[in-house]
């Protein structure tokens, strides 16, 4: 059983290698009768595409999509939405030199071990190019959420050792789109950009952290005991290429706290609504949303493609030197922001739909 399907009611299946004819997928479970905002989808695709700034890969892909089904006269039919994003700037010749060797911390070796062969051009299926399909589907999920007033926003809060020290609930996400690194604080963004540009010159790369916040989600989302809200969010985010860590609410820092300090007291606010005084729970209790902001952080390792000669071995087990070629991002974080949002939107929309038949009316 392969792993190319995501979700339960809102189900996405994707396909595509980096240098094949294209990537794409099928999304089923989107409710019928929804007017699709194609500009919103295009905008999300633009946020992810390569070549968008001086700190991203120079590969030229417009990431234009074609919707093949499921939409009629602008509205969703309730039938599966097929979509295709053709690869355009696929320079397969660039990869001849690496076809026999295993690039360090890439998936060349593991794909070959698992499948016995691999499409060596640009990483094939293991390339982050497949995230274009995630962003397309996530843009539809976002529209489902918007109908319910729910917003999903992410931004870069760490690049290398440069960190933005603001509580997640105080982040001004709208400001993140003002700069190429997608950090909402202009000063920190400037430091990050300078750092990444320096790395690019050195031929090196860095990792970082993306913080995501989901606002206005209703209480009741999440399905105990295995499909808890945080469990599905963790799976969703950890399936993104290069993700190495996930924490929600108090996260790893919460492990140091005492229960008396960590407990979120319930309080009654205006119009009888119940909420919590603090939110160390990150909006989730017992695996179910409690109506507060849901927030979490995702750590990404540094990009593996560097412009320095590296020792490695080839298919025959011989020691060889990998001379860096190809196009890459010195820091993948800015382009990963819409991917984190997309995966989160898919999770929340899926739970929203799953929750619709839990209680008898």
Which residues 234-263 are close enough to bind its own copies by CB under 8 A? 234-239, 241, 243-252, 254-263
User: Residue count at the site for its own copies (CB under 8 A)?
Assistant: 155
CA distances from 292 to 191, 221, 250 (A): 32, 12, 14
Q: Least distance to its own copies from the beta carbon of 240, Å? A: 9
Segment lying near its own copies (by CB under 8 A), choices 27-35, 49-57, 172-180, 181-189: 27-35
Closer residue to its own copies, CB minimum distance, 68 or 186: 68
Among 38, 46, 54, 68, binds its own copies (CB under 8 A): 68
**Are the beta carbons of 215 and 170 closer than 8 angstroms?**
no
Question: Among residue numbers 98 through 117, which ones bind its own copies (CB under 8 A)?
Answer: 102, 104-107, 109-111, 113-117
Closer residue to its own copies, CB minimum distance, 191 or 312: 312
Segment lying near its own copies (by CB under 8 A), choices 46-54, 72-80, 166-174, 177-185: 72-80
- Tell me the three state secondary structure of residue 44: helix
Q: Least distance to its own copies from the beta carbon of 47, Å? A: 20
| Residue 56 engages its own copies in binding (rule: CB under 8 A) | no
**Are the beta carbons of 229 and 289 closer than 8 angstroms?**
yes
Among 50, 138, 160, 334, binds its own copies (CB under 8 A): 160
| Residue 167 engages its own copies in binding (rule: CB under 8 A) | no
Exposed / middle / buried, residue 115 (Cβ in 10 Å: 0-12, 13-18, 19+): exposed
153: phi then psi, degrees, rounded to nearest 5: -135, 140
The whole-angstrom separation of Cα 279 and Cα 259 is: 13
**DSSP 8-state class, residue 238:** H
The whole-angstrom separation of Cα 225 and Cα 286 is: 8
Q: Least distance to its own copies from the beta carbon of 238, Å? A: 4
Structure tokens at 323: 């001379």
Closer residue to its own copies, CB minimum distance, 101 or 139: 101
Question: Among residue numbers 322 through 361, which ones bind its own copies (CB under 8 A)?
Answer: 353-360
Lay out the site mask for its own copies across 260-279 (x = CB under 8 A, - = otherwise).
xxxxxxxxx---x-x-x---
Closer residue to its own copies, CB minimum distance, 188 or 205: 205
Q: Least distance to its own copies from the beta carbon of 242, Å? A: 10
Segment lying near its own copies (by CB under 8 A), choices 40-48, 52-60, 172-180, 294-302: 294-302
Question: Among residue numbers 183 through 222, which ones bind its own copies (CB under 8 A)?
Answer: 199, 204-209, 219-220, 222
244: phi then psi, degrees, rounded to nearest 5: -125, -5
320 has which bridge partners? 312
Cis peptide before 352 (omega within 30 of 0): no
The whole-angstrom separation of Cα 243 and Cα 232 is: 15
**DSSP 8-state class, residue 23:** E
On the CB side of 342, CA atoms within 13 Å amount to 27
Q: Least distance to its own copies from the beta carbon of 26, Å? A: 5
Segment lying near its own copies (by CB under 8 A), choices 52-60, 171-179, 184-192, 317-325: 317-325
Closer residue to its own copies, CB minimum distance, 31 or 51: 31
**Are the beta carbons of 189 and 181 closer than 8 angstroms?**
yes
Structure tokens at 37: 């905002």
């Amino acid at each position: 059983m392969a792993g190319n399907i995501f979700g339960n009611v809102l189900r996405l299946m994707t396909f595509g290698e980096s240098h094949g004819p294209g990537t794409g997928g099928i999304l089923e479970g989107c409710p019928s009768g929804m007017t699709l905002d194609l500009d919103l989808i295009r905008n999300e695709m633009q946020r992810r595409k390569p070549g968008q700034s001086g700190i991203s890969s120079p590969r030229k892909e417009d990431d234009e999509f074609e919707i093949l089904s499921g939409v009629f006269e602008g509205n969703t039919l309730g039938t599966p939405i097929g979509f295709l994003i053709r690869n355009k700037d696929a320079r397969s010749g660039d990869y001849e030199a690496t076809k026999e060797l295993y690039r360090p911390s890439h998936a060349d070796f593991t794909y070959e071990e698992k499948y016995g062969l691999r499409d060596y051009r640009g990483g094939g299926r293991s390339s982050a190019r497949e995230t274009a399909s995630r962003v397309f589907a996530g843009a539809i999920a976002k529209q489902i959420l918007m109908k319910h007033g729910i917003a999903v926003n992410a931004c870069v809060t760490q690049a290398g050792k440069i960190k933005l020290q603001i509580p997640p609930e105080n982040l001004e996400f709208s400001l993140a789109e003002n700069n190429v690194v997608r950090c909402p604080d202009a000063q920190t963004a400037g430091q990050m950009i300078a750092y990444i540009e320096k790395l690019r010159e050195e031929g090196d790369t860095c990792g970082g952290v993306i913080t995501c916040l989901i606002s206005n989600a209703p209480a009741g989302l999440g399905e105990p005991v295995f499909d808890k809200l945080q469990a599905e969010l963790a799976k969703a985010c950890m399936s993104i290429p290069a993700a190495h860590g996930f924490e929600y609410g108090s996260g790893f820092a919460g492990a140091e706290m005492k229960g008396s300090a960590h407990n979120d007291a319930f309080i009654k606010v205006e119009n009888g609504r119940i909420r919590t005084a603090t939110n160390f729970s990150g909006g989730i209790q017992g695996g179910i949303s409690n109506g507060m902001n849901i927030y979490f952080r995702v750590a990404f390792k540094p990009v593996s493609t560097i412009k320095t000669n590296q020792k490695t071995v080839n298919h025959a087990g011989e020691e060889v030197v990998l001379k860096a070629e190809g196009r890459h991002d010195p820091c993948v974080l800015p382009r990963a922001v819409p991917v984190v949002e997309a995966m989160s939107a898919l999770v929340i929309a899926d739970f929203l739909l799953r929750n619709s038949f839990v209680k008898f009316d």
